[in-house]
Structures are given as C-alpha cells and as structure tokens.
Amino acid sequence: MTPKLELAAITDEFSPQLEPALAAMAAIGMTGAELRVVWGKNIIDLSDDEVARATDLVHAHGMKVVSIASPLLKCVLPEGGDADTRFQKDIFNSNQTIADQPRLAERALKLCELTGARLVRVFSYWRTVDPSRCHAAICRALIDLGALAAPQGVIIGLENEHACNVGTASEVVKIFADVPNANVQLVWDPANMLVGGEEPFPGGYAILPKSRIAHVHAKDCQMHGHTPEWGPLGSRHVDWKGQIAELLADGYAGAVSLETHWAGPGGDKSLGSTICGWNLRGLLSA
C-alpha cells in the first residue's frame, strides 16, 4: 500500500504538541509535515531556537517540512466592505491585522530558510459580502509576495478558503488570471469549496489551472445549509477517489496533506486524524 503521491499532514491536527503528532504521523507512513500550530503557538510566533528544535524532530521521524501554514492575508481588508458573517473564521492562535502583514511575510520566508520548506500558505483576506471589491488588493498582495519569495525559490500558495475572498474555483481562476508570478500557485482544498456552497469535483476542479496547483489539503464533510458536518475522510461528500485519480492523470506530483477538521470519535481528535490518515493513505495507494 504505497502512496502514489506524498502523504503529509498539518501536525496540529494530531496534537498541538509536536512530538506525539509526529509519532502518530510516522506510524501511518507520512513523509511530509506541514507546520501551523506547534507547542500551542502559531508557527509564525516560534523563536529560531524553537523552529530548529521542531525541524530536528521532523527529520528524526523520517519526514521533511513541506509547508509553512502561515496566517498571511487572513485578516480584514479595510477597504473591502462589510464582512460576510456566514462562515467561521479559524485563526489558529494568530489574530493579526493588515498592518502586521509585512512582518509576517518576512518571518514566513525566514521560516522557509530555517526549515527547508519550499511553500508558504497564504489567504485572501476575510470574506466580504462583495469579494470582487477586494480583487485588485488581493492581486497586488500576491504579486508582491511572489516577488519577495522568488529569490529564495519559495512558492506562495494561495489556499481557497471559504471564510476568505477566494473560496471557489471560479474565484481562483479570476485571481490567477491577474497574477502572472510563476511562483504564486494554488493550495487546492476541495472541502473548503464545498463549504463555500459549490461542488468542488468534478466541476470546480475542471476549471482550475492545473499547472498552478502546488499543494492539496484533504478533509471531508457534508453540508447542512451553510454548516459543515466533518467526518472521516472518504466517507462524506467530497469524491476523494475521483479527485485523486484526476490529480494523478493531470500530472500532479506534490503532497496531499491531511487537515482533518473532524473532532474524532468521542471528541478524540488524535484518533480522528489517525483514522483519516489511514483512509488517505489507502486512497493515495489505490
């Protein structure tokens, strides 16, 4: 049961404590670690010494750091208009403003240097009732981030996030049409698009610029109105079997990274992530 794509996970989906998270991931056979919350802190806020310790632990478990899951552009855009209040805004121990973004960008790139990660995950500002009003500002920010990251060979990975202004495939297409930087690419999250109210696969995926997909997040849910019910990966609404087959057919060669979200059986998140991790390994090995 060898995965056909790199099997990874956001470590704090198993535990905010890195050691037990990595042990659980290694037992599943994961080779990629995505860092978001480590020892209860957002990755952006770790000291250099803490980052060195974290990186050593990742390597000691036979893995590499595949992404810095930063909170960049997960903030209010002042000129964006009224907020869309339908969706939960997950901040993962990082509540930042637009004034913080230059500092966060600099730190995120430093974290790539320290960990060896080649991708920084970013967003598109908290979603407003008129996302098109934010289009120009999002493009400017992504172009600037791409230019800043290019000398290091780092990819700026825009995640489609239902709580932000770029949540669906059609919104991704519009943004990428106006962001020419080759190193500004997509973190594709089908379940996020589903929560945003549209079908991610096959329809949403079909219109994406495939050559600009750099990373994939995997979780699963079914919808009740605007409320997602998270569950074991591969058992809810997202057609993960079909999605993975299409990624492979289209030449995708990056990681598929577990972002469980499900609270797990009886609220045991670590067990839930273990179940989802094995399910993902099976899907990637089929």
pLDDT for the residue 226: 85
In 3D space, the residue among 36, 121, 132 whose CA is nearest the CA of residue 84 turns out to be 132
The per-residue pLDDT for 90 is 83
The domain segmentation of the chain, as residue ranges, is 6-285
Give SS3 for 266.
Answer: helix
Please give the pLDDT value at position 1: 79
User: What per-residue confidence (pLDDT) applies to 93?
Assistant: 74
Residue 279's pLDDT is 98
Q: Which residues have C-beta within 8 Å of that of residue 168, sequence separation ≥ 6?
A: 160, 193, 196, 197, 198, 204
Domain 6-285 architecture? Alpha-Beta Barrel (3.20)
C-alpha–C-alpha distance, residues 30 and 48, integer Å: 25
Q: pLDDT per residue over 61-110, tens digit each? A: 999 999 999 999 999 999 999 999 888 888 777 789 999 999 999 999 99
Low-confidence stretches of the chain (pLDDT beneath 50): none
